[in-house]
Structure 1
Amino acid sequence: MERIVILGAGESGVGSAILAHKRGYNVMVSDFGTMAPKYREELDSHGIAWEEGGHSDDLLNGASLVVKSPGIPRTAPIVKKIDVAGIPIASEIEFAGQFYSGKSICITGSNGKTTTTSLLYHMLKEAGYTVGVGGNIGTSFARQIADQEFDWFVLELSSFQLEDMHQFKADISILLNITPDHLDRYDYQLSKYADAKLRIIQNQKEEDLFIFFEDDETIAQKLTEMRLPMASASFSLNSHSPSALAKVNEGHLDVSLAGRHFVAPLASLPLKGRHNWCNMMAAVLTTLRVGMSHRDILKGLETFEAVAHRLELSRILDGVSYINDSKATNIDATRFALDAYEQDIVWIVGGTDKGNDYSIIESLVKEKVKAIICLGMDNSKIVAAFQQSGIPIVETDAMEKAVAAAHGYAKENDIVLLSPCCASFDLFQSYIDRGNQFKEYVNAL
Structure 2
Amino acid sequence: MTKQRLVILGGGESGIGTALLGNAKGYEVFVSDNQKIKEKYKQVLIHNEIEWEDEKHSENKILNANIVMKSPGIPDNVPLVKQIRKQGITVVSEIEFASKFTKACIVGITGSNGKTTTATLTHHILKQELNVGLAGNIGDSFAKQVLEDDFENYVLEISSFQLDDIVDFKPEIAIITNITPDHLDRYNHQFKNYVASKFRIAMNQTKSDYLIYDADDKVITNYLMNHPVQSTLLPFSLRRTIENGAYLDNDKIKITIDNNQIIMPTTNLTLEGKHNIKNAMAASTVAHLLKIRKQTIRESLENFQGVEHRLEHVLKINKVQYINDSKATNVNATYFALESMDAPTVWIVGGVDKGNNYEELFQFVNEKVKAIICLGVDNEKLINTFGRMVDVIIETQFVSEAVKIAYKLAEAGDNVLLSPACASFDLFENYEDRGRQFKNAVRNL
User: Which of the five TM-score ranges fits, normalised by the shorter chain?
Assistant: over 0.9
Q: Cα gap change, 1:390/1:13 in structure 2, threshold over 3 Å: closer, same or farther?
A: closer
- What percent identity do the matched residue pairs reach? 45
Please give the secondary structure, in 1, of the residue aligned with 2:413: coil
Question: 2-side partners of 1:140 and 1:395: how far apart?
Answer: 38
8 A contact 1:377–1:397 mirrored in 2: yes
1:234-253 residue pairs with structure 2 within 5 A?
A: 234-238=235-239, 240-242=240-242, 245-253=245-253
Matched, 1:52 2:54: yes
1:270-308 C-alpha deviation (Å, 9 max, x unpaired): 011011111000011111001111011111111211100
Question: 1-side partners of 2:102 and 2:90: how far apart?
Answer: 20
Equivalence for 1:119:
121
1:29-40 residue pairs with structure 2 within 5 A?
A: 29-40=31-42
Question: 2-side partners of 1:320 and 1:158: how far apart?
Answer: 35
Please give the secondary structure, in 1, of the residue aligned with 2:6: strand
Please give the secondary structure, in 2, of the residue aligned with 1:184: helix
Question: 2-side partners of 1:130 and 1:241: how far apart?
Answer: 33
Equivalence for 1:346:
346
Cα offset, 1:309, TM superposition: 0.1
Q: Cα gap change, 1:264/1:61 in structure 2, threshold over 3 Å: closer, same or farther?
A: closer
1:134-145 residue pairs with structure 2 within 5 A?
A: 134-145=135-146
Equivalence for 1:366:
366
Cα offset, 1:111, TM superposition: 0.2
Question: 2-side partners of 1:213 and 1:135: how far apart?
Answer: 21
The one-letter code matched in structure 2 to 1:398 is F
Cα offset, 1:202, TM superposition: 1.2
8 A contact 2:67–2:89 mirrored in 1: yes
Equivalence for 2:160:
159
Matched, 1:429 2:429: yes
Equivalence for 2:188:
187
Question: 2-side partners of 1:75 and 1:294: how far apart?
Answer: 48
Cα offset, 1:205, TM superposition: 1.1
8 A contact 2:243–2:256 mirrored in 1: no
8 A contact 1:366–1:391 mirrored in 2: no
Please give the secondary structure, in 2, of the residue aligned with 1:63: coil
Question: 2-side partners of 1:250 and 1:126: how far apart?
Answer: 28
Corresponding pairs, count: 443
8 A contact 1:369–1:391 mirrored in 2: no
TM-score (norm 2): 0.98
TM-align CA RMSD: 1.1
8 A contact 2:344–2:415 mirrored in 1: yes
Cα offset, 1:61, TM superposition: 4.6
Q: Cα gap change, 1:291/1:421 in structure 2, threshold over 3 Å: closer, same or farther?
A: same
Equivalence for 1:208:
209
Cα offset, 1:427, TM superposition: 0.9
Please give the secondary structure, in 2, of the residue aligned with 1:27: strand
8 A contact 2:110–2:157 mirrored in 1: yes
1:102-113 residue pairs with structure 2 within 5 A?
A: 102-113=104-115
Equivalence for 1:93:
95
1:157-195 C-alpha deviation (Å, 9 max, x unpaired): 000000001101010000000001000000111100000
TM-score (norm 1): 0.98
Cα offset, 1:342, TM superposition: 1.4
Question: 2-side partners of 1:442 and 1:282: how far apart?
Answer: 33
Please give the secondary structure, in 1, of the residue aligned with 2:300: helix
Equivalence for 2:294:
294
Cα offset, 1:259, TM superposition: 2.4
Question: 1-side partners of 2:255 and 2:343: how far apart?
Answer: 30
8 A contact 1:260–1:288 mirrored in 2: no
Please give the secondary structure, in 2, of the residue aligned with 1:321: strand
Question: 1-side partners of 2:191 and 2:229: how far apart?
Answer: 21
1:380-412 C-alpha deviation (Å, 9 max, x unpaired): 111100112143111111101110111111111
The one-letter code matched in structure 2 to 1:319 is K
Equivalence for 1:333:
333
Question: 1-side partners of 2:148 and 2:405: how far apart?
Answer: 49
Matched, 1:26 2:31: no
1:244-393 residue pairs with structure 2 within 5 A?
A: 245-393=245-393
Question: 2-side partners of 1:61 and 1:251: how far apart?
Answer: 58
The one-letter code matched in structure 2 to 1:206 is K
Cα offset, 1:244, TM superposition: 6.6
Cα offset, 1:316, TM superposition: 0.9
Cα offset, 1:242, TM superposition: 4.9
1:177-229 C-alpha deviation (Å, 9 max, x unpaired): 00010000001111000000000001111111100001111111111112222
Question: 2-side partners of 1:363 and 1:57: how far apart?
Answer: 53
* Structure 1, gaps ≥5 residues long: none
